[in-house]
C-alpha cells in the first residue's frame, strides 16, 4: 500500500485545516463595506488592514518553518489554528482600530504557522512519486476555501455583519480539536531534515536572493509575478467598496459575483489549462492574460449594471486564474534543479504585491473610487509590455 493511501486520514485533516484558514481569509471580502460603515473605517485604513496580514505572514514564514522542524508539525498546526480562531473572533468582536490591527496581524501569524507546517507534513507522509499528488490535494483545499469563502461570508452577513467572523472562529476551534485528537505526530526522516535545512538556508538569505535574482533568466517573470499579484490585490481590496459606493450592492450581491468568477476560473484550471499552455506556450498565454486583465479592470470603471459587473469580473477572474499558473509553469521550467529556490522567490514577489497593492488601493480609493482600478490597469499594461522581453523556455527543459 502506498504511503499516501496509508496516510489518507492525516491528509484529510491537513486539508481541513488549510481549507478553514483560506475560507476565513475569503469571507471578509463581501462584508467589508458594511463592516467599514459600522466602524467608520476609510479606504486607506482598509488597505493597511489588508496589508498588515500579508506583512506579518511574510515576516513570520521563515520562523514558522524552523519551528515546525524543531518542535514538530502538529504542535505548530495546533498553535496556528488557535491563533486563527482568536484573530477571527477579535476582528468580529472589537471596535477599536489598534485591536483590529492586532487581530489581522494574529491572522497573518496563524497563516504563517499553518502553511509551511501543513506542506512539510504532507512531504513527510508521501513518497517522492506521490508528493505532487499530495500537494495537489492541499492546493485544492486552498482553492476551494478561496472560492466558497466570499459566498459564505455574504450569506452569513444576512444574520449580522459580525456573524461570519464568529462562525470562522468556531470552525477554527473545531479543526484544531479534530487535529489534536486524530492527527498523528510524524517523525522526520533524514531526507526531510536535509530538505528543510536547505529551505532554511534559502529563507535566511531572502534579501540576498532578491538582489541576485536580477541576473536570473526568470527575473522578468518575477516582475510579472509582482505586477499580477499587485493588480489582483488592488482589485479585490476595494471591489466590495467600489460596488457598494457605486451601485449599493449588498454583501450577498458581492459574494455572488466573486464566487461565480472564482468557480469559473477553477474549472478552467482543472480542465483546459494544460491544453492552453501546450497549444500556445507560456509566454504567449502570460502576455495575452496580462492585456485582458488590464482591459477588464479598466472596463470595470465604466460598468453601470449588475450583470455588466458580473460579466467584467468573470473575464477578469478567468484571465488571472490562467495567468498565475502560467507564470508558475514558466518559472518552474527555468528553475531546473533549483525548484525550491525559485518557488521561494515566486512566493516572496507574490507577497510583496499583496502588501503594496492594498496599501495603494486604499489610499487612492479615498481620493476617487475609480482611481485604484485605473492605476491597476496601467500597472498591468506595463506588465504586458515587459512580458515581451521575457525569455522563451528552452525546449530541452520540458
CATH code of the domain containing 325? 1.20.1250.20
Q: What is the mean pLDDT of residues 79-97?
A: 93
Confidence tier at 17 by pLDDT (50, 70, 90) = very high
- Per-residue pLDDT tens for 240-259? 888 888 888 888 888 888 77
Q: Does 207 map to a domain?
A: no
What is the reported pLDDT for 110?
92
170/228 same-domain check: no
Top-ranked range on mean pLDDT: pick from 9-23, 179-193, 197-211: 9-23
258/125 same-domain check: no
Burial label for 233, CB within 10 Å (0-12, 13-18, 19+), is: buried
Query: Whole-model pTM?
Result: 0.74
Confidence tier at 279 by pLDDT (50, 70, 90) = confident
156/245 same-domain check: no
Query: What residues contact 101, with CB distance under 8 A and at least 6 apart?
Result: 48, 49, 52
Query: What residues contact 207, with CB distance under 8 A and at least 6 apart?
Result: none
Q: Does 120 map to a domain?
A: yes
Q: Does 325 map to a domain?
A: yes
- Residue with the bigger pLDDT between 49 and 201: it is 49
98/155 same-domain check: yes
179/224 same-domain check: no
What is the reported pLDDT for 295?
94
Residue 308's domain spans which residues?
A: 216-393
267/311 same-domain check: yes
Confidence tier at 178 by pLDDT (50, 70, 90) = very high
Q: Which three cell numbers stand for residue 39?
A: 466602524
Distance CA(35)–CA(28), nearest Å, equals 9
Q: Does 320 map to a domain?
A: yes
Range list of H helices, the chain? 3-6, 8-39, 43-71, 73-93, 97-124, 131-156, 163-182, 190-204, 206-212, 219-247, 251-271, 273-280, 282-300, 306-335, 339-367, 371-387
132/233 same-domain check: no
35/171 same-domain check: yes
DSSP-assigned states of every residue in 21-65: HHHHHHHHHHHHHHHHHHHT--HHHHHHHHHHHHHHHHHHHHHHH
Count structural domains, the chain. Answer: 2
Q: Does 27 map to a domain?
A: yes
137/223 same-domain check: no
158/290 same-domain check: no
Q: How far apart are the first and last CA of the chain?
A: 31
- Residue with the bigger pLDDT between 348 and 191: it is 348
What is the reported pLDDT for 169?
95
Q: Does 225 map to a domain?
A: yes
What is the reported pLDDT for 337?
56
227/347 same-domain check: yes
Q: Does 211 map to a domain?
A: no
228/287 same-domain check: yes
- Residue with the bigger pLDDT between 389 and 304: it is 304
- Residue with the bigger pLDDT between 185 and 288: it is 288
Q: Among positive and negative, which fits the CA dihedral 148, 151, 155, 161?
A: positive
Q: Does 209 map to a domain?
A: no
Amino acid at each position: 500500500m502506498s504511503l499516501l493511501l496509508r496516510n489518507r486520514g492525516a491528509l484529510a485533516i491537513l486539508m481541513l485545516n488549510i481549507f478553514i484558514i483560506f475560507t476565513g481569509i475569503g469571507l471578509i471580502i463581501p462584508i467589508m463595506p458594511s463592516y467599514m460603515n459600522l466602524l467608520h473605517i476609510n479606504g486607506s485604513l482598509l488597505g493597511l488592514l489588508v496589508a498588515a496580514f500579508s506583512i506579518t505572514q511574510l515576516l513570520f514564514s521563515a520562523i514558522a518553518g524552523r519551528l515546525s522542524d524543531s518542535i514538530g508539525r502538529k504542535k505548530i498546526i495546533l498553535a496556528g489554528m488557535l491563533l486563527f480562531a482568536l484573530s477571527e473572533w477579535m476582528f468580529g468582536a472589537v471596535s477599536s482600530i489598534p485591536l483590529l490591527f492586532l487581530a489581522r496581524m494574529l491572522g497573518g501569524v496563524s497563516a504563517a504557522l499553518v502553511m509551511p507546517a501543513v506542506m512539510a507534513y504532507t512531504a513527510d507522509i508521501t513518497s517522492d512519486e506521490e508528493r505532487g499528488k499530495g500537494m495537489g490535494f492541499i492546493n485544492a483545499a486552498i482553492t476551494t476555501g478561496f472560492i466558497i469563502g466570499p459566498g459564505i461570508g455574504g450569506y452569513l452577513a444576512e444574520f449580522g455583519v459580525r456573524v461570519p467572523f464568529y462562525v470562522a472562529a468556531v470552525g477554527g476551534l473545531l479543526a484544531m480539536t479534530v487535529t489534536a485528537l486524530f492527527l498523528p505526530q510524524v517523525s522526520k526522516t533524514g531526507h526531510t531534515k536535509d530538505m528543510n535545512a536547505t529551505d532554511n538556508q534559502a529563507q535566511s538569505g531572502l534579501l540576498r536572493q532578491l538582489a541576485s535574482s536580477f541576473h536570473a533568466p526568470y527575473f522578468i517573470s518575477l516582475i510579472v509575478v509582482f505586477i499580477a499579484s499587485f493588480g489582483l490585490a488592488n482589485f479585490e481590496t476595494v471591489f466590495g467598496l467600489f460596488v457598494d459606493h457605486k451601485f449599493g450592492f449588498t454583501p450577498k450581491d458581492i459574494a455572488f459575483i466573486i464566487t461565480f468568477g472564482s468557480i469559473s476560473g477553477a474549472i478552467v484550471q482543472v480542465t483546459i489549462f494544460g491544453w492552453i499552455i501546450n497549444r500556445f506556450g507560456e509566454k504567449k498565454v502570460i502576455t495575452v492574460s496580462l492585456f485582458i486583465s488590464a482591459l477588464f479592470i479598466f472596463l470595470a470603471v465604466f460598468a453601470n449594471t449588475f450583470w455588466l459587473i458580473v460579466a467584467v469580473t468573470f473575464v477578469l477572474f478567468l484571465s488571472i486564474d490562467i495567468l498565475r499558473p502560467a507564470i508558475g509553469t514558466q518559472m518552474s521550467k527555468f528553475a531546473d534543479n533549483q525548484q525550491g529556490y525559485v518557488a521561494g522567490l515566486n512566493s516572496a514577489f507574490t507577497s510583496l504585491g499583496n502588501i503594496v497593492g492594498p496599501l495603494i488601493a486604499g489610499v487612492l480609493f479615498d481620493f476617487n473610487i475609480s482611481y485604484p482600478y485605473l492605476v491597476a490597469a496601467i500597472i498591468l499594461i506595463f506588465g504586458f509590455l515587459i512580458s515581451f522581453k521575457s525569455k522563451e523556455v528552452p525546449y530541452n527543459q520540458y
